[in-house]
Each structure stands twice: as structure tokens, then as C-alpha cells.
């Protein structure tokens, strides 16, 4: 019977019989060992939660890359937002996960809040703008983390702040761009990745073109993929096909959500409000042209310049191996702190804090 609504259709993408068929096909057609990496926290969780990771044939190795926005937030950025939180008359508006990320000496926004700093959890940048309206006497600093997916709504919010003259709304722009990080990753001689599963959400904005270099310059089969088990298995089959024919490509498996040219309107607002800049990534260091800073016309909304705070290239937290986990060089359970001093209740690094972090996913689903 044909599916009659969206949830029926999505149920098909989880169908156990269809999944088993694809798994059998993968087993039969796998030409040799294959290490694939996903670079999206939602894929990390989907692969663990659905049980796919434990069902994959022995020759397939699953690696998680730098795809969780909270996890890639650099140590120096964490130190900077802790400094912002301690400024007079500032309210930090942040997504929930960030509040527990340990900074230098293990302090976090949660601790800063306990010490009297004003921290508000918000669910969008527009919530932060509402705070700016509600507290005209305070400066609201929104912590803008995330990839190309979240940057357009933050850009749109800044535009509204400008239109409405809400100059007490400030943004600490920590947004990061995925393709330059992938280029940096593939240039790292210590990273061994045969194929990539590309992020569905980011791709809805940027489309297919920005990934072409993965196949053309690095010879890495890459598939833009949805988040259901069937999507992921189909992506693996598409990768195996490319391995067999020896013709690496970038394939859009998630065409039900991702247009080949992405979302031009979203990119337009991003390009108006932000300018491409270098960025610091946890584990990957400074990557040229991989971040978004506020464009000249919107500089007055920049929290760092307005409040006189700088981001420094600080070393990793002692003992934490998030950098190696984010590069797929280390499985979370091989970190000496995993499930000892570092657990979701007592996280030492952001990969254990975020619900999309590899260490948290491994702790929740693979132990």
C-alpha cells in the first residue's frame, strides 16, 4: 500500500525488512575494508540509536568526524564566552548544551551562573532578541554556534535587530563552515578515511557544489545522506558502488530535502550579515576561511569588539582527547578518561556534554 502521509513515508525509511535487504547487499558487495566517516552529530546519534553500528559487516569501520557544533567549539572560544559572562550588565543567551562545556580550569557557564552571572537558555536567536527587548538596560550576548544550518537564522535575527534599533543585542559569532574543515581533515596525514557521509542539514543550505573537491581533488567517495536507517544504508551502498567502479563522486542521496543548489535565499542573508573568516576548531586548530565573522555593516552587533574580549588559541583541557575523537583518530572508549572521570554527569570535554557528541552517543548506546 502506498504511504498516505509523511510519517508513513518516514516509517518506510526504518523498515526492518528493507534494512536487512540492504545490509545483505552491502555484505555481498563490499569489495574490501572500508572506513567511512560521518560529519554530522545527527548522523552520529542516528547510527548509534538505530543499532546500525553494531549491524555493519566486519570490514566496515564507522568514524565520527567534527560534526557536532558544540564539540568543535574551541577551548579559546569557551574561555572568551566565560569572560563575556563576567562582564558588567551582560546576559548570556545560549543553547542548552553549551552551558555545561568545561573551559579553562574546568569552569563552565553553569558554574558562572552559580556564581551570579546571568545566563539564559534560549531555543533560537529570536528568543535572544526577545530578551534584548525585555531587558533594554542590559546587553544580551547570544552565543552563535553551529554550521551553515544555523547561521542563516542568526543572520536574519541580526538584520531584525538592526531594523528595530536593538543595539543591546550582541552576537559572539562562532559559526563554522563544513567544507573547509573537510579539506583540512583530508589533508591531515594521520586521518584515514575512505569515504564520507555528508551532513543532510548543512547541505540543505549549501547544496552539492561546495563538496565536489572531495571526489575531484581527494578521490573520496562522498554521499549527502538523510538520517533514517535506510538512508544511511543506501549511502553505504552508493559508496561501495563508487569504490567498485573506481570513480569517486559526490552523490545526493537526500534529494527529498536537499536541492542541488541548496537554499540561495539562506545563503544570501548569510552573505549580507557575515563575512568569511579564519576559525579555530577544537582538535583541528585554525582553519583558513572556515568561519563567519560579522560584516562591516553589522560590526556594532559584534560582542567581542563591543565588550573588548579576544579569542586566544588555548591548549586542550588536560587529559581530554576530544581533538583525536573529532578527527576519527580515536574511538571514544579508548580515551583514558571515558566512563571513569568523564561521564555525561561529569563531562570533562564537550564530546561528552553534547547530545550529538560521539562520547555521549557511545556512552548512551554502545556501553
85: exposed, middle or buried (C-beta count within 10 Å: 0-12, 13-18, 19+)? buried
- Footprint of ligand SF4 on residues 275-334 (CB under 6 A)? 320-322, 325, 332
**Grid cell at residue 69:** 557544533
Q: How many residues bind ligand SF4 (CB under 6 A)?
A: 14
DSSP 247: -
CB of 85 to ligand SF4, least distance (A): 22
Cβ neighbours for 354, distance < 8 A, ≥ 6 positions apart: 41, 68, 69, 70, 71, 97, 360
Q: List strands edge to edge, sheet with 169-173.
A: 118-121, 90-94, 139-144, 169-173
Site for ligand SF4 (CB under 6 A): which residue of 117, 171, 258, 335?
Answer: 335
Choose between 23 and 360: whose C-beta lies nearer to ligand SF4.
360
Least gap, CB of 359 to ligand SF4 (angstroms):
3
Asked whether position 361 contacts ligand SF4 by CB under 6 A, the answer is no
Nearer to ligand SF4, 207 or 357 (CB): 357
How many CA atoms are closer than 13 Å to the CA of 230, on its beta-carbon side? 13
Nearer to ligand SF4, 34 or 348 (CB): 348
Instruction: Quote the least distance from Cβ 107 to ligand SF4, whole Å.
Output: 16
Q: State yes or no: residue 221 binds ligand SF4 (CB under 6 A).
A: no
Report the alpha-carbon distance of residue 35 to residue 60 in Å, rounded.
6
As given in the structure block, the three cell numbers for residue 335 are: 580515551
> Which stretch, 24-32, 140-148, 173-181, 345-353, contacts ligand SF4 (CB under 6 A)?
345-353
The CB-of-342 to ligand SF4 minimum distance in angstroms stands at 3
Q: How far is the CB of 5 from ligand SF4 (least distance, A)?
A: 40
Q: Is 176 helix (H, G, I), strand (E, B) or coil?
A: strand
How far is 210 from 252, CA to CA, in rounded Å?
12
Q: Does 348 bind ligand SF4 (CB under 6 A)?
A: yes
Of 351, 354, 356, 361, the one binding ligand SF4 by CB under 6 A: 351
Smaller CB separation from ligand SF4, 144 or 357: 357
Nearer to ligand SF4, 235 or 348 (CB): 348
Q: Given the rule CB under 6 A, which of 4-12, 46-54, 106-114, 349-357 is the region that contacts ligand SF4? A: 349-357
Nearest residue to the partner ligand SF4, using Cβ: 349
Taking CB under 6 A as the binding criterion, the range among 125-133, 297-305, 307-315, 348-356 that sits at the site for ligand SF4 is 348-356
Q: Which of 154, 349, 356, 361 binds ligand SF4 (CB under 6 A)?
A: 349
Smaller CB separation from ligand SF4, 63 or 325: 325
Smallest distance, Å, CB 35 to ligand SF4? 19
* Nearest Cα to Cα of residue 66 among 351, 362, 320, 315: 351
Instruction: Compute the C-alpha angle 219/263/209, nearest 5°.
Output: 20
In DSSP notation, 230-243 reads HHHHHHHHHHHHHH
The continuous run of DSSP H or E covering 164 comes out as none
Cα–Cα distance list, 241 to 26, 30, 308 (Å): 10, 9, 53
Instruction: List all residues 6 or more positions away from 5 whose beta carbon is below 8 Å from its beta carbon.
Output: none
Q: Which residues bind ligand SF4 (CB under 6 A)?
A: 320-322, 325, 332, 335, 337-338, 342, 348-349, 351-352, 359
Amino acid at each position: 500500500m502506498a504511504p498516505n502521509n509523511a510519517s508513513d513515508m518516514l516509517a518506510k525509511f526504518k523498515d526492518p525488512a528493507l534494512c536487512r535487504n540492504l545490509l545483505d547487499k552491502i555484505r555481498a558487495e563490499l569489495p574490501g575494508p572500508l572506513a567511512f566517516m560521518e560529519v554530522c552529530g545527527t548522523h552520529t546519534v542516528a547510527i548509534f540509536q538505530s543499532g546500525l553500528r553494531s549491524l555493519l559487516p566486519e570490514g566496515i569501520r564507522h568514524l565520527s568526524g567534527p560534526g557536532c557544533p558544540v564539540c568543535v567549539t574551541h577551548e579559546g572560544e569557551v574561555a572568551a564566552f566565560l569572560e563575556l559572562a563576567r562582564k558588567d550588565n551582560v546576559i548570556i543567551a545560549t543553547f542548552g548544551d553549551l552551558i555545561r562545556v568545561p573551559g579553562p580550569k574546568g569552569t563552565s557557564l553553569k558554574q558562572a551562573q552559580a556564581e551570579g552571572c546571568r545566563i539564559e537558555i534560549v531555543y533560537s536567536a529570536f528568543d535572544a532578541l526577545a530578551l534584548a527587548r525585555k531587558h533594554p538596560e542590559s546587553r544580551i550576548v547570544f552565543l552563535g554556534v553551529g554550521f551553515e544550518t544555523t547561521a542563516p537564522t542568526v543572520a536574519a535575527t541580526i538584520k531584525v535587530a538592526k531594523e528595530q534599533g536593538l543595539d543591546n543585542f550582541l552576537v559572539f559569532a562562532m559559526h563554522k563552515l563544513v567544507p573547509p574543515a573537510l579539506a583540512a581533515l583530508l589533508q591531515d596525514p594521520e586521518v584515514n578515511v575512505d569515504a564520507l557521509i555528508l551532513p543532510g542539514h548543512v547541505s540543505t543550505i549549501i547544496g552539492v557544489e561546495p563538496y565536489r573537491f572531495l571526489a575531484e581533488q581527494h578521490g573520496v567517495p562522498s554521499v549527502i545522506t538523510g538520517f533514517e536507517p535506510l538512508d544511511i544504508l543506501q549511502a553505504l551502498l552508493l559508496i561501495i558502488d563508487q569504490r567498485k567502479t573506481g570513480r569517486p563522486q559526490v552523490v545526493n542521496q537526500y534529494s527529498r530535502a536537499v536541492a542541488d543548489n541548496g537554499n540561495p535565499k539562506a545563503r544570501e542573508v548569510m552573505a549580507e550579515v557575515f563575512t568569511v573568516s579564519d576559525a579555530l576548531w577544537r582538535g583541528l586548530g585554525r582553519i583558513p576561511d572556515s568561519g563567519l565573522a560579522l560584516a562591516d555593516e553589522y560590526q556594532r552587533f559584534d560582542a567581542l569588539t563591543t565588550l573588548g574580549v579576544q579569542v586566544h588559541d588555548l591548549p586542550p583541557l588536560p587529559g581530554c582527547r576530544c581533538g583525536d575523537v573529532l578527527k576519527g583518530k580515536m574511538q571514544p572508549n579508548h580515551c583514558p578518561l571515558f566512563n571513569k572521570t568523564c561521564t555525561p554527569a561529569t563531562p570533562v570535554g564537550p564530546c561528552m556534554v553534547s547530545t550529538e557528541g560521539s562520547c555521549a552517543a557511545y556512552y548512551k548506546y554502545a556501553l
